[in-house]
Amino acid sequence: MPDKSSAMVHTQYLPFLSLSWEAGGYSWGSAILAFLYREMCKAAKMSSVDGRALNADIGGCMVLLQSWAWYRLPFLAPICPAPSEFPLATRWRQRKDRALDHKVTLAVRMLIDMCCESEFIWRPYLHEDVFGLIPERAYEDAENWCSIMPLIHFALVEMFYGNRVLRQFGFHQPVPAAPRNMDELEQIDTRGKTEKNWPLTHWIGMQFETIDQAKSAIKLYNIRKSVHSKVTRSTSEKYVCECTQRKEQGCNWKVRVSKKKRKQNIWELSVYNGPHTCCAVGHRQDHPNLDSTIISQTVQPIVQASPKVTVSTLMAHVKSVYQYEPEYKKTWRAKDKALKKLHGDWDASYNELPGWINIMQKYNPGTIAVLETKPYYKNDRVVADVRQFHRHVLLLAVIQDGNRKTIPVAFALVPREDTDSCKFFLQNLRKHFFRHNTVCLISDRGSGFLSAIESLGSRFCSPKVEHRYCLRHIAANYHGRYKKDYERKLILRMGMFHSSS
């Protein structure tokens, strides 16, 4: 964190280096970023008179900024004989500067202005030269990369908007919400306030858009510190938490968040009595604050990348992040919550069905869709414009072509596999698909299907429709009862044998 001289460092850091085992626990990365962001803010200020930069110099960790730029804008980077290494910024230790004089701002500006989109490397960390270099430990706490959080450096507070740089980590980049207005915090003047406890000052007034965000922040704080708290008040206006060791160990830790009507109903931390003076409880048992909501937030990026990830893998991930091992059931619920957050509620997803069918019909002409829904009642009254589906079972019809390849031709979502549902499916199949042709239906001998064929009478009888049973199901049923795999295989061979009579 050098100042503008790029060689001097403020003495304010010295007290933090005195206890070496504690020094490693501070978030130095956050401090470096906060300082750099603020220096970049200052450097970007232009004079309103002549449009020139007000500050000619910039302080902060320039190696970081330079490395960031050179990996993304390779045409600005010096020519370098060495391949990439880790940490990535060390690559340019033995650099050979390009003919381009880096002191000439104009030349650099011109190169950036002339750069076309394909010259900008959007995903440098996924590049083949770089990807293999990044060690496993760099991925610890990877969920923080995508989060939104304040970075605090004494009086400085700068927001980290991880949600705005998802593309560089290989994720899909949606349009993010507008950033928070930080004007008030930028006005803070540190002169004459050497004794001020800045972390505490910043805690009071910390804002949350919803009460759920505030609750999550308090829970995460307690999990990270291995301490327990209890909710002592929870209303639509206030939320208060206290340490569980208030009586036993005299720990006065307490936080209160209140809803601020004047500030667009934002929730603000109005009381903070801290830090905890009680003894941490250790990591032996599960933490009560590590609930399915917190776990689902933690595992969401993993579930998004691979929805089929096992619950035990997620449990191991949570253990590596928080050092607590959550129960299987709780983690299962958390995965379910994460899936719902990513893909919407299963039931609500049926709302997308009409639109989806429209698109299918538009782009696959000849697609036939038949929707049978029930009216929706609320307090014994029919709600207009709302229709209701049942919970569903998928019925699927496939055919085999001349090359013995199976092709799905129709599917239906029905309440259950009973006579009525099978009748609905078969009648529509006849009406829209095989019409007057002679067909052979192969089924699994399901009772609903058999009684549906029976009730459909002559239209589903020989010689128009032949009905056969699926050999694979017969063999599977046989195996289910007699458990003899050799005989199951004999049945399959017997069934596939061509008879000439």
491 binds Zn ion (CB under 5 A): no
* From candidates 36, 251, 395, 412, binder to Zn ion by CB under 5 A: 251
130 binds Zn ion (CB under 5 A): no
Interacting stretch for Zn ion, rule CB under 5 A, among 43-51, 269-277, 341-349, 482-490?
269-277
Between 215 and 276, whose beta carbon lies closer to Zn ion? Answer: 276
Percentages (nearest 5) of helix, strand, coil residues in the chain? 45, 15, 40
Between 322 and 449, whose beta carbon lies closer to Zn ion? Answer: 322
Closest CA to 180 of 210, 220, 207: 207
Question: Least CB distance from residue 294 to Zn ion, whole Å?
Answer: 19
Backbone angles phi, psi at 405, to 5 degrees: -100, 140
Between 251 and 338, whose beta carbon lies closer to Zn ion? Answer: 251
**419, 451 Cβ separation under 8 angstroms:** yes
Interacting stretch for Zn ion, rule CB under 5 A, among 1-9, 49-57, 255-263, 270-278?
270-278
Residue 109 CA to residue 104 CA, distance in Å, equals: 9
> For the purposes of burial, counting CB atoms within 10 Å of the CB of 449, is it exposed (0-12), middle (13-18) or buried (19 or more)?
buried
**What binding mask, one character per residue, do residues 189-228 give for Zn ion by CB under 5 A, x or -?**
--------------------------------------x-
Between 226 and 443, whose beta carbon lies closer to Zn ion? Answer: 226
Q: Compute how many residues bind Zn ion; rule: CB under 5 A.
A: 7
**What binding mask, one character per residue, do residues 276-315 give for Zn ion by CB under 5 A, x or -?**
x-x-------------------------------------
**490, 479 Cβ separation under 8 angstroms:** no
Contacts of 286 (CB under 8 A, 6+ apart): 324, 325, 326, 327, 330
Between 67 and 245, whose beta carbon lies closer to Zn ion? Answer: 245
**317, 298 Cβ separation under 8 angstroms:** yes
Residue showing tokens 């990996």: 71
Question: Least CB distance from residue 257 to Zn ion, whole Å?
Answer: 18
253 binds Zn ion (CB under 5 A): yes
Q: Using CA atoms in the order 35, 40, 43, 48, what is the torsion angle rounded to 10 degrees?
A: -120
337 binds Zn ion (CB under 5 A): no
Binding site for Zn ion (CB under 5 A): 227, 243, 245, 251, 253, 276, 278
